[in-house]
């Protein structure tokens, strides 16, 4: 079987001592930042991106993706024990997880999250392996019109899933696209929006924006809000293993969460956060068994389903990146950065040109998930200790790693000035309720989308109908319109506003 031999190649790559080490480092870091509130995978990956330059491309990607899915595991620990989402994707885990902890059942809650995530992770890896080949074949049929429409779909997806006002999210996408155009235009050689500044001719560095807006912006926001009283259930964690009744209850929830997460992860704009929300909503709709605790009061299903879903989604969101070269969310946009640092063009050719990288990364995800279960369940005590560390020790360290990360990309002090400026901008975004994730996606896609638009219109002789007369392109645009229409429906609009409460 092809799939098997491909996976064998992958495991051959992933099982080298060096790559095992990087997978472990990634998972460890991911769990760490997942547990710590206030620092997420986005800023961590942005921070480490420049450092990966000195690594082998496979090792770099293995480590960075380990951080992403590792954070999904770690985030649940904080959610259950401290009533704070360590990660945005564990926002819903807080609800039932914390209630379980208050009832002295923190152990089973942690186990449900860990085991559910592990199962979902394994399925996610299989889904990637199975879908990668057919998706690549579709990708090779794509012309410029299809690529343009697909990116529009991705951007609309990001807008739809952004919290808060739709119009503001669209504005952020447009702003991101414009920022992406800063620098020398590849076709004409004109330096656009550089305003006479020599350093801007090469464009704005992705890391500069990511770090300024997410790193510094977040720190300043966190310091601006008073440290609230935290109630930590550290002594209550005993008896990790769920009872037989717990297992019976959580298994179907794990299956449902995994299936839902795998699908939502593939969709452009989707990702771990949305998957967790959707999974929780479904669990709420399912009828309670006799004697079962209602959701919201400490039901194990309310932990198992969203945690499975967010982990499955964090894995399958690699599919559009690896096969189409289109990042479905901001973290995958960072992965594009990681790949281009090593001059690998993400897209259908990764699999044919770099099979060991492609399959090695996938195999490493399975290994990483196994490591994470060990890191998060038997070693839970370490993470609990960490939760008692005050933020005043953490934020100077975060600020330092941001600064070093920026400086090490091209050792230019100009970037440090720029990141300072974007830090201020990022804080203004937060104050004005402008969500930065769509901006980042727009920034990455800006130059690509312009190029494909130019090519498509060149082929059609300036006729815009090319986007709707080609079947594939038309269906992609139709999905985008449907998505947009769906959120505008009054019923869903209300639900959406409820789910995305200010965090």
* Chain residues in the site for another protein (CB under 8 A): 51, 54, 165, 167-168, 170-171, 174-175, 177-178, 181, 185, 187-188, 190, 192-193, 195, 216, 219-221, 223-224, 226-227, 391-393, 395-397, 399-400, 402-404, 407-408, 413, 416-417, 419-420, 423-424, 427-428, 431-434, 450, 453-454, 457-458, 460-464
**End-to-end alpha-carbon separation of the chain, Å?**
47
The DSSP call for residue 38 is: T
Q: Kindly state the smallest distance separating residue 227's Cβ from another protein, in Å.
A: 7
Nearer of residues 137 and 227 to another protein, judged by Cβ: 227
Nearer of residues 268 and 423 to another protein, judged by Cβ: 423
Nearer of residues 400 and 482 to another protein, judged by Cβ: 400
CB 399 within 8 A of CB 43: no
Nearer of residues 50 and 320 to another protein, judged by Cβ: 50
Q: Kindly state the smallest distance separating residue 84's Cβ from another protein, in Å.
A: 18
Q: Kindly state the smallest distance separating residue 488's Cβ from another protein, in Å.
A: 15
H or E stretch including 435?
none
Q: Kindly state the smallest distance separating residue 189's Cβ from another protein, in Å.
A: 9
Nearer of residues 21 and 478 to another protein, judged by Cβ: 21
- Which residue, among 308, 256, 378, has the nearest Cα to 124 in the 3D structure? 308
Q: Kindly state the smallest distance separating residue 326's Cβ from another protein, in Å.
A: 18
Nearer of residues 352 and 412 to another protein, judged by Cβ: 412
Q: Kindly state the smallest distance separating residue 56's Cβ from another protein, in Å.
A: 13
CB 267 within 8 A of CB 157: yes
Nearer of residues 362 and 403 to another protein, judged by Cβ: 403
CB 73 within 8 A of CB 204: no
Q: Kindly state the smallest distance separating residue 221's Cβ from another protein, in Å.
A: 7
Q: Kindly state the smallest distance separating residue 396's Cβ from another protein, in Å.
A: 4
CB 410 within 8 A of CB 303: no
- Which residue, among 357, 383, 410, 436, has the nearest Cα to 65 in the 3D structure? 357
**Please, is 237 exposed, middle or buried when counting C-beta atoms within 10 Å of its C-beta (0-12, 13-18, 19+)?**
buried
CB 26 within 8 A of CB 70: yes
Three-state SS for 183?
A: strand
- What distance in Å separates the CA atoms of residue 259 and residue 145, rounded to the nearest whole number? 31
Residues 6+ apart with CB under 8 A from 303: 76, 80, 93, 96, 97, 100, 109, 112, 113, 116, 250
Nearer of residues 102 and 192 to another protein, judged by Cβ: 192
């Amino acid at each position: 079987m092809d799939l098997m031999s491909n996976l064998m190649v992958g495991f051959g790559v992933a099982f080298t001592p060096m790559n095992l080490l990087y997978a472990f480092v990634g998972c460890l870091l991911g769990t760490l930042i997942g547990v710590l509130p206030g620092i997420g995978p986005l800023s961590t990956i942005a921070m480490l991106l420049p450092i990966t330059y000195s690594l082998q491309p496979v090792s770099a990607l293995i480590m960075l993706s380990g951080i992403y899915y590792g954070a999904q595991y770690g985030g649940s620990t904080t959610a259950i024990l401290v009533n704070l989402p360590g990660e945005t994707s564990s926002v819903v885990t807080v609800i039932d997880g914390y209630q379980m902890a208050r009832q002295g059942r923190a152990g089973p809650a942690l186990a449900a999250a860990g085991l559910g995530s592990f199962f979902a992770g394994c399925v996610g890896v299989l889904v990637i392996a199975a879908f990668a080949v057919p998706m690549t074949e579709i990708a090779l049929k794509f012309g410029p019109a299809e690529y343009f429409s697909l990116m529009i779909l991705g951007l609309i997806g990001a807008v739809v899933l952004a919290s808060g006002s739709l119009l503001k999210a669209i504005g952020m996408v447009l702003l991101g696209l414009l920022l992406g155009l800063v620098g020398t235009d590849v076709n004409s050689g004109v330096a656009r929006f550089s305003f006479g500044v020599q350093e801007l001719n090469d464009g704005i560095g992705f890391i500069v924006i990511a770090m300024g807006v997410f790193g510094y912006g977040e720190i300043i926001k966190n310091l601006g809000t008073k440290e609230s009283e935290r109630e930590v259930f550290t002594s209550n964690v005993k008896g990790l293993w769920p009872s037989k009744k717990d297992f019976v209850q959580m298994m179907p929830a794990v299956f449902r969460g995994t299936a839902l997460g795998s699908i939502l992860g593939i969709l452009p704009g989707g990702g771990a956060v949305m998957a967790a929300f959707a999974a929780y909503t479904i669990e709420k709709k399912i009828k309670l068994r006799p004697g079962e605790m209602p959701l919201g009061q400490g039901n194990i299903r309310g932990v198992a389903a969203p945690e499975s879903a967010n982990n499955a989604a964090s894995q399958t969101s690699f599919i559009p990146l690896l096969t189409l070269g289109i990042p479905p969310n901001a973290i995958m946009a960072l992965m594009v950065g990681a790949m281009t640092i090593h001059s690998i063009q993400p897209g259908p050719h990764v699999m044919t040109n770099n099979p060991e990288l492609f399959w090695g990364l996938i195999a490493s995800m399975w290994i990483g998930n196994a490591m994470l279960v060990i890191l998060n369940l038997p070693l839970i005590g370490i993470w609990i200790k960490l939760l008692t560390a005050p933020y005043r020790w953490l934020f100077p360290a975060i600020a330092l790693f941001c600064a070093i990360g920026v400086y090490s990309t091209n050792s230019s002090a100009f970037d440090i000035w720029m990141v300072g400026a974007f830090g201020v901008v990022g804080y203004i975004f937060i104050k004005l309720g402008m969500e930065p994730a769509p901006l980042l996606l727009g920034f990455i896609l800006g130059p690509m989308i312009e190029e494909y638009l130019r090519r498509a219109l060149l082929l059609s002789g300036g006729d815009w109908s090319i986007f709707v007369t080609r079947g594939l392109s038309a269906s992609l645009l139709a999905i985008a319109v449907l998505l947009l229409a769906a959120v505008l429906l009054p019923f869903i609009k209300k639900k959406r506003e409820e789910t995305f409460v200010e965090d």
